[in-house]
Chain A
Amino acid sequence: MHIPDAFLPLSHALIYWIIAIPFILMSLKWAREELDDLKIPLLAALAAAIFAIQAMNIPIGMGTSGHMVGAAMAAIILGSPWAGVLLLTLVLIVQSFVFGDGGVTALGANILNMGIISGFVGYYTFVALKKVNLNIGVAAFAGAWLGLFISAIVCSFEMTLSGIFPLVGGLIAMGTYHAIIGVIGEGLITAVAVSAIASARPDLLPETFTGDVHNE
């Protein structure tokens, strides 16, 4: 879902930057307040793993492929949507400047879609489902899937505003492809990773996610 430079007029790219920057600053504030001797290596390990897995495009049929975004996974594991914003900001900067994946001018829009929207929707969906006592893997799957789907819908609107996509055709194509990508590429991987950490090293996850919800 990395938007190239050509897909956004500069004036639009600027607006998405203006929206994204306060979120990036808030993510830095989160990092200063919340990072500790375990969360710093967790952030680094997640950054490396998520970068690598983003290079693994999974075929979904219809001549199309897709890959994980990972903001929801980072937010759940580190216990804050700001973690997803910070991590995706770092990943997207490297992808855009070093590998030409996603435009440099479109970076603000890509951070907005993949770092902010998919992370926030994914994280708070997970938290809400966890509150009603849903299994941690199921909650992680649903959160990650919805996060990716909503960010694809927003991306489609942005492309319509750019004058590139027709409104309905864009929504149908982007919605269909990412609903499928979200199942394996986002939901399943997030569910497996979060469940694995919850059973092997529950102490690494925020207590509210692993403890008995009735004791909160």
Chain B
Amino acid sequence: MNKKTNADAKKILLAGLIIGVVISVLAPFLASSDPDGLESAAEGIVDPATFAELEESEPFMSSPMPDYSIEGFGKLGEVGAIVIGTLLMLVLGYGVGKIIKG
């Protein structure tokens, strides 16, 4: 990797990191808590009993940070969860790219 490419690579990673973290910190405060398109469609057109059943059904497996939150930490936990996810994606994207490329 020549010097310019190396410097560019670092700049790109830094840009992704900054944009990702800034959005992650703002998201819990700015994001709408209204249901998304799919859920809202289901709420509107599925009969109420079936919808309630769907809403209450447990996922196939539980996740460590459901709904982008950390239990007991409120908004701060939401910021933390999304920041962790963003950092994880940066590492995963880079790692998978490097591993596949060999």
CB–CB B12/A164 < 8 A: no
CB-nearest residue of chain B to A173: B41
| A-B contacts, CB under 8 A, total | 225
Interface size on B, residues (CB 8 A): 65
CB–CB B88/A1 < 8 A: no
Tell me whether B76 is interfacial, beta carbon within 8 Å: no
CB–CB B38/A2 < 8 A: yes
Query: Which of A3, A37, A41 is in CB contact (< 8 Å) with B16?
Result: A41
Of A64-72, A115-123, A128-136, A205-213, the stretch lying at the interface with chain B is A64-72
CB–CB A56/B23 < 8 A: yes
CB–CB A44/B86 < 8 A: no
CB–CB A44/B16 < 8 A: yes
Q: Using Cβ atoms and an 8 Å threshold, which residues of chain B touch A46? A: 16, 93
Q: Using Cβ atoms and an 8 Å threshold, which residues of chain B touch A63? A: 34-35, 40
CB–CB A64/B36 < 8 A: yes
CB–CB A66/B37 < 8 A: yes
Interface residues of A in 33-84 (CB under 8 A from B): 35-53, 55-59, 62-67
A105-B59 Cα distance, complex, nearest whole Å: 9
- Distance between A111 CB and nearest chain B CB, rounded to angstroms: 15
Q: Using Cβ atoms and an 8 Å threshold, which residues of chain A touch B19? A: 45, 48-49, 52
CB–CB A44/B94 < 8 A: yes
CB–CB A164/B17 < 8 A: no
A28-B98 Cα distance, complex, nearest whole Å: 12
Given A44-B13, A47-B92, A63-B34: A35 touches B85 (CB 8 Å cut-off): no
CB–CB B20/A48 < 8 A: yes
Interface residues of B in 1-28 (CB under 8 A from A): 1, 5-6, 8-10, 12-13, 15-17, 19-21, 23-24, 26-27
CB-nearest residue of chain B to A4: B59
Tell me whether A144 is interfacial, beta carbon within 8 Å: no
- Distance between B5 CB and nearest chain A CB, rounded to angstroms: 5
Given A48-B89, A90-B89: A164 touches B16 (CB 8 Å cut-off): no
Which 10 residue pairs spanning A and B have beta carbons closest together? A45-B16, A44-B93, A47-B93, A40-B97, A173-B41, A177-B37, A48-B20, A100-B63, A65-B32, A59-B32
Beyond contacts A5-B60, A99-B65, A99-B81: 19 other A-B pairs, Cβ-Cβ < 8 A, are A6-B54, A6-B57, A32-B101, A35-B100, A40-B98, A41-B94, A44-B93, A47-B16, A47-B90, A47-B92, A48-B17, A49-B20, A51-B85, A52-B23, A57-B32, A62-B40, A67-B36, A91-B89, A173-B44
**Which residues in A have some Cβ–Cβ distance to B below 8 Å?**
1-7, 28, 31-32, 35-53, 55-59, 62-67, 86-87, 90-91, 94-101, 103-105, 152, 155-156, 159, 164-166, 169-170, 173-174, 177-178, 181, 204
**Which residues in B have some Cβ–Cβ distance to A below 8 Å?**
1, 5-6, 8-10, 12-13, 15-17, 19-21, 23-24, 26-27, 30-38, 40-42, 44-46, 50, 53-54, 57, 59-68, 81-82, 85-94, 96-98, 100-102
